[in-house]
Structure 1
Amino acid sequence: MPIHHRIKHTANSSKVQPARINLRSKMFMTLAIIATVPLLLGVITIYIAYINSAEQSARAYSHQIMEQMNIHLNRSIYDYAKLTTVALYDTNVMEILRNHSGPYQSSIYTSAAEKSKMNLFISSLSFEKPEIVGIRILAMDGSIFGSADEKQSDHWLYEEHPWLKRVVAEDGEFVIIPPYEINYYSIRKARVFSVARLLREPYTLRPLAVATIDINSSLIFGNLESVTFSKNSKLLITNHNGDIFYPNKAVDFTLPADLRDNGLIDLQGETYLSVLRESSDETLNIIGLIPVSDLRKNAQVLFEYTLLISVIALLIAYLLAYFGARNLIKPIKHLQFKMKKIQIGLFGERIEIRSKDEIGDLMNGFNSMVTEIERLIKENLEIGLREREAELSALQSQMNPHFLYNTLENINMMALEQSHFEISGVVSSLGKLIRYTVNNKVMFVPLNEELRFLEAYMKICATRIGAGLIWRMHVDPILKTSIIPKLIIQPLVENAVQHGIRQQPGCIDLNIYQEDGTLYIAVSDDGVGMSAEKKLELIQRIGLPANPQQGKKESFGGPIKGNALWNVNQRIKLLYGPQFGLFIDQDSDIGSRFMIQLPVRLEEIE
């Protein structure tokens, strides 16, 4: 192994190299990801959509059932509330209640006739209403009237009826009393809730009694046991204070105070979807609690089946991706093998093209590239030989410049002797141009030397064109000592003469100034100008990385065809970088305007 190869290998081996993943593995992983991600997203989307659909269906079904329950419940409550007012329309009952409307007494006498009339009246109210356990009327003086099966008591006590003050405070509106245990009926002990109302004298509004209807919770709510929204759902009926009317048995959880419709709550470690329906008089609430796990049970089964099918599909997709990547990489591996041969100088290698797809185009491009490289190497060798021959020929045929200067000087003297001062001026300007251009050893010159060269050039142009050519220069005096590339402005001026004002009289302006360390050289004319399409075409030609007219030479003073402008732009970019160069003003309405941008250099030329 050569010494420099060993040194390079040793230096590289000291660095930790990243793991190399071949193209086939990358392609396989890419295809696998392309197959996996959309499939997983689809499975998750289906799962979420199914859950949302199940929740919406459960909400809709629950609201529908609860609406029917609410209508039935409201109708029943209002029927019971109306029963509490029937006593106001019976004269015998009203007469008895007026007799017992005095102050409350711990013991009071009630006649047998009064009891008989009241029992008959109360029994008629509960006829064929098995859910009504009993109806009682509590007179203001402490007397109590009830149905026949009630245990007889002389009077009622406040401590036995803690809800009585609330009924009196409602001032005649009916009140629903939460469920409680009663034992004042002789037949059975029952759990009831009551509808109560304060009865007043219709004309004097004097309180007469409190009528209560005790309703068996099991009978009125018994049919609700068959109502289910899901396997483990719960149905509750409460008031605004949170007292539970249904179910009849005690519950082992507490509802949150901020319970809302279509919300999620946690009870005993389980998440429930709450469905809430309030009665029209805002006295009772119907609450449905549906476990989220019930809603997602079917979705879970669907998800498991879908996931199983997806896994099988992915395995098949991975196998297809593996063999597909293998077949796709095979021609690329062959191309890589041929490229390694080119690296060691075997330019005669070619690839047999067997496909007409992008891989085939790549192989065709490789063959073309190798052919072109082989041609360029041969051409470069030939050009080198020809350049040496041309240099030798130029040295052999080189003419002494002093002979040309002396000849021009003699012509100048002859013109002066004949008083042809204009010819003398042209010859003198031509001599200055030749002296300036012959010296090829100088690449950079002060700006004032370039300006003197331009003045001599414009004198010759004025002689050729006539009085129609106007030449103006506006130069910052500080910049006259700045250093610029030699012969960098003349092509722009020549372009303005040839294309701007050659066909008609006009003016050429040269403006040189600086801003923020950048030297701006602007050459403009008021001639025929260019169309927007022509400007765009010229900008593209000037900005090309390769000479747009390679092989075509432009003689000094000959027509400008874009080659000189391309040379100017390339010289500047090679010398100063891509941020500088030649630019065309696309906004100029009259004539054309070209701008050179260079860095300001005020140092002396070495």
Structure 2
Amino acid sequence: MNMAAFTGIRKSIFAKFTLSFIIVGLVPLLLISYISLNTFSSYIERNLVNNYEQMMLFSGKNIRDMYTKYNNITKLMYSYGVDGRFSQLGQAIAVQSAQRDYQLTNTIDDFLRTMLYTDRYLQNVFFLMVDGRLQHLSKENKSYDFSFAFPPESWKEQLVDRQSLAFYPTHKEAYYLRSDDLVMTFARNLTDVLGSSGLQGPLVGTFFMDVSMGAFEEIFQQMMLGPKDVIYVLDSKGTIIYSNQHRLIGQPYQPPAQTEGYIQMVQGVEDVGWTVRGDFYKEEMFDRIDQIMRTLFLIIGACILSLVLVAVLFSNRLSGPIRSITRQMSKIESGNFNTQVTVQSADEVGLLARGFNKMVVRLQSYIDEVYVAQIKQKQAELNALKSQIRPHYLYNTLEVIRMSAVANDDHEVGDMILSLSHQLKYVLDYGQETVPLSEEKMNIEQYFKLMEFRYGEHRLAMEFRFETELLSMPIPKLSVQPLVENAIYHGIMRKSGKGTVRITAERGSEGHICITVDDDGVGMSADTLERVRAKLRGEQPGESGSGIGLKNVHDRFAALYGPDYGLQINSTQHIGTSVRLVIPLAKEVGARDEGHSGR
């Protein structure tokens, strides 16, 4: 773009309007967006940290409730009733064990089954009697390892106190074969409290229950931790009871080596002595803020783009009519008065456009009346004389040649000239571009006579199969003759022996005429057929060669009747070719339409 063009655009009304709209709308929008984004991002960051603190607090309360729940479940054995003569489980076990009652196993088994299904996270339950006998149940019917000494020696020291709950940190189920599930174990001694004060009765056994990690995962799933966020539940000794990084469970807690990128939070669990720690990765924590900020940036960008588009459209709506008037004035200056400005509004610009159109019409009218009308009339008269003189001259000349041939007894040449004369008269009749199908048939017969003279009856034959009622139907002149010519030259003449061209005209479906030209010539290969069809579809350039005549006919009918009409070609090599022409039955093409379409 040169400097003069740039200066012209800069001084245009369109540029001034657009720049004004952008400055007035864009500057306040950017200022408000900057202030809002800074305020909003600070608020979201504080709110997000507060949310994590609240979730840590709730997690601590939920863990305390979980511990209390399992503590209470172990106490249920003191209120568990036994059918029959016993009022409590401890008494039943003590008496049945002393009497070696065979019901002892069923009594303990019923108790374990009841306890196993009191909570969905209970995986295994055990009851160890004072004589060392062990009964157990599992929800998944796991295979118990009878070689395992249950409970481990490290557990026994916590069971010295007969009244308190014993807790064993997370461990694998080593006492079940082929099981690597992680569980934490709660245990409580059972005493026979009847006939004794408090819980100081004789010990009858110990109840153990394994709880899966699902109890912790249910608590922490609401926190929506990121891949680098780590949550810990530590017991009073600092051992990791639970972590979302399962590989850390059972290990002593170690602070992260790098704490710069983390926010660390600690929450104690009341009445239990446990601690909940969280190491939250800042980048992941604030990634949600970044997502919100990106969304806001997209919204702001869309608003800016909308503002620019509105400015351009509004400015173009104001300056467009003025530019249109300027362009039309340039055409009038060059002598082209066949122009009008489109009126798009009723405002002052619209009034200006209407006045300009009226001025052009009046000026054109004056010029036509005084000068152009006379010149056009003289030219039309001259063209009419020429169109009459030229065909008449050709007809007379051909007649002289024909009579000379007849005088010399060369009747075959005379017949050929007569057929040619009929064809020229058919082609050069400018006043009629739409003819009945019967006239097109007669022209084809004249053409075929010439071909018979040229190649002989031993090479060519023609058959017509026309429905009688279709002979009066109008079709565009020279619709079928190019198809016959194509069949003779590209089909029949390329084979040895005689060939036949069959022309069929029949009424098709949905008000169509179907004219089919079949030949039993050499046909086309699949590749050649596809190339011809591609030319008809306009997918290959219409250069000279095979298919150019067919394309001209196809394009003519597509222009006259629309893209749904034209030629359909099928061919089989060594069998022949069929060209089908489909045109509307009722639609008639006038001379004026045909003339415009051929320009």
TM-score category (smaller protein): 0.3 to 0.5
What TM-score does the superposition give when structure 1 sets the normalisation length?
Answer: 0.42
Structure (1 or 2) with the larger CA radius of gyration: 1
What TM-score does the superposition give when structure 2 sets the normalisation length?
Answer: 0.42
